[in-house]
Structure 1
């Protein structure tokens, strides 16, 4: 045998020994002995960490021979680490597949499937069904607040399996939600626009824009101020403010109240064509700002908001993306500011600087609540009953 083959054989032997040591270190990592003779005195890290680090270091420094035709040691170690970080894949997915979410009544009659949980939110293993015969097997049952009245008395008598969680879904404000004291102690989880709910799902979000979409342009405008409203009640703060504001500036108003109903397609076209949109909420509560804000942000219009204080908005929306009515002493002063912006295009355009980095998105009503509730139920196994829902939500 020549010298070079002997060296090659020797290297292969050493490589085998190193890999054997690595496997031993991995075995130690997951099945650590408790015998004291395996520990280093006064060591700041555990023995298996030292062994593993030294093993990887030695392997990389002395035995990596890269080739276009063979797998390098780095590739091998990366694959092994990936396997270590992904425990019990088959069993894990069996457990995920067992999560069943029963929709008691489809919220807003909008139906969806569990497959959307993966495609929309990256949440696997949610079996969504409206088949009430699956009740005993379901891990979670979703109830929409607006539809509870139909079955409230039956729900109070219905036995609940110990493993099951009932989820209360509501995206209406307390002012527009029916209050029932009987709800206390009926549910395990809440899914709501409020940040302190168990499964928080805001109506919309401001998120980082993909680089390929970073080409926003302000849509052409031929209207100054617009408002689309159908729910008109004289007691609403937004109605009183509108009545005063309209004395000082022209407002293009649409909706059933103004005998100018519009279609969904018309809605987007009108919103884009307005410099400002009155994003006036029907009631004022903490964290309660709806699609009235996120739709104009998404479509390229500056929202003029009436709702909770500016500080609450700024926790979710860039401060220079909207105008708050509270920033002005009166509706007249607001009107004067809007007319100033109409004549100063460069100042107006500053309200869109945030679009260089972010976009506005809307939540998928019902679907996102269900998917995230499924995820919560799978990850949080703690026992919980919401005993004071009435006090928490209605005060």
Structure 2
């Protein structure tokens, strides 16, 4: 099996977690093995500039091409390049052939005793495209033109906040990124989310015996539940003064936890082997663009 990955996201091949059955599969970046590969993973951002970036060697009969993207549609140019080429999809979309979310929670069966990190600050927000004409009271903003975020101290910095503004760059079905999963949930903050509707966050979707996407209602705060930013701000301030009510947003942790992800790319690729074993009859997708958008 051949994988094409961005140089910034290299990972050790054939080292999948035990819960993934990868018996009988070989992951390789050796392109000389292309003609014998059962599947080729095409990471969209690496092959979307020109069709010349796609494999040039004649495609073996019944070799499956897997389209992989972690980006939202408007940040995925030239989707038409994939017309009538792709056999399986892999993305954050639940209706992908291979579901590869940014994060998930699992049932820990009482094995984990979660303690809320010590809170000394109210709210944080990390953003790259910040409008200096906007004003935010009591919210510490990290990113360009604002406070510098030291990556090696990100856990220490964000875990001290009661709330984290997990605002997505674009609103699309199932597009819930590391802003929610890592910056907020994993670091022990209550996420204030803006993205797909609340119902999308609350979905409980068992993908297999190990992976679940279940976000309890009391695990986050959705901006759509408020009529104005002022009403949202007032609610956050009320939670800041009511310790018991604030702690209710962590009740779900008595049953669930977010598995650590040293490299989420590894987990995404590790799902390919099982997907190939369970793959539907060979078929080609006429338009990735029509499906994805």
Cα deviation code 1:327-381 (max 9, x no counterpart):
0000000000000001110110110100111102366433222221122112326
Secondary structure (helix, strand or coil) at the match of 1:304 reads strand
Change in CA separation of 1:157 and 1:135 when aligned onto 2, cut-off 3 Å: closer
Change in CA separation of 1:393 and 1:362 when aligned onto 2, cut-off 3 Å: farther
Per-residue deviation, 1:187: 1.1
Per-residue deviation, 1:106: 4.3
Larger Rg: 1
Q: Paired residue for 2:173, among 286, 300, 315? A: 286
Correspondences of 1:311-330 after superposition (within 5 Å): 311-315=199-203, 316-330=214-228
Q: Paired residue for 1:170, among 69, 89, 95? A: 69
Q: Is the 8 A contact 1:224 1:274 kept in 2?
A: yes
Unmatched runs of 5 consecutive residues or more in structure 1? 1-100
Q: Is the 8 A contact 1:254 1:262 kept in 2?
A: yes
Secondary structure (helix, strand or coil) at the match of 1:366 reads helix
Q: Is the 8 A contact 2:158 2:187 kept in 1?
A: yes
Q: Is the 8 A contact 1:194 1:288 kept in 2?
A: yes
**TM-score of the pair, normalised by structure 2:** 0.89
Unmatched runs of 5 consecutive residues or more in structure 2? 204-213
Change in CA separation of 1:133 and 1:221 when aligned onto 2, cut-off 3 Å: same
Correspondences of 1:272-311 after superposition (within 5 Å): 272-295=159-182, 296-311=184-199
Cα deviation code 1:109-166 (max 9, x no counterpart):
322211x225352432321111110001111111111100356235375421113111
Q: Is the 8 A contact 2:39 2:66 kept in 1?
A: yes
What does residue 27 of structure 2 align with? Answer: 128
Q: Paired residue for 2:153, among 266, 275, 291? A: 266
Per-residue deviation, 1:270: 1.4
**Which of the pair is proportionally richer in helix?**
1
1:105 and 2:9 correspond: no
What does residue 54 of structure 2 align with? Answer: 155
What does residue 202 of structure 1 align with? Answer: 101
Q: Paired residue for 1:352, among 241, 250, 273? A: 250
Distance of 1:113 and 1:369 partners within structure 2: 12
1:221 and 2:119 correspond: yes
Q: Paired residue for 1:255, among 137, 143, 157? A: 143
Distance of 1:308 and 1:362 partners within structure 2: 24
Distance of 1:209 and 1:367 partners within structure 2: 22
Secondary structure (helix, strand or coil) at the match of 2:36 reads coil
Aligned residues: 281
More divergent stretch after superposition (367-376 vs 331-340): 367-376
Secondary structure (helix, strand or coil) at the match of 1:287 reads coil
What does residue 184 of structure 1 align with? Answer: 83
Distance of 1:381 and 1:286 partners within structure 2: 24
What does residue 19 of structure 1 align with? Answer: none
Per-residue deviation, 1:284: 0.3
Q: Is the 8 A contact 1:216 1:356 kept in 2?
A: yes
Report which structure shows greater RCO (CA 8 Å, sep ≥6): 2
Change in CA separation of 1:109 and 1:179 when aligned onto 2, cut-off 3 Å: same
Secondary structure (helix, strand or coil) at the match of 2:141 reads strand
Secondary structure (helix, strand or coil) at the match of 2:114 reads coil
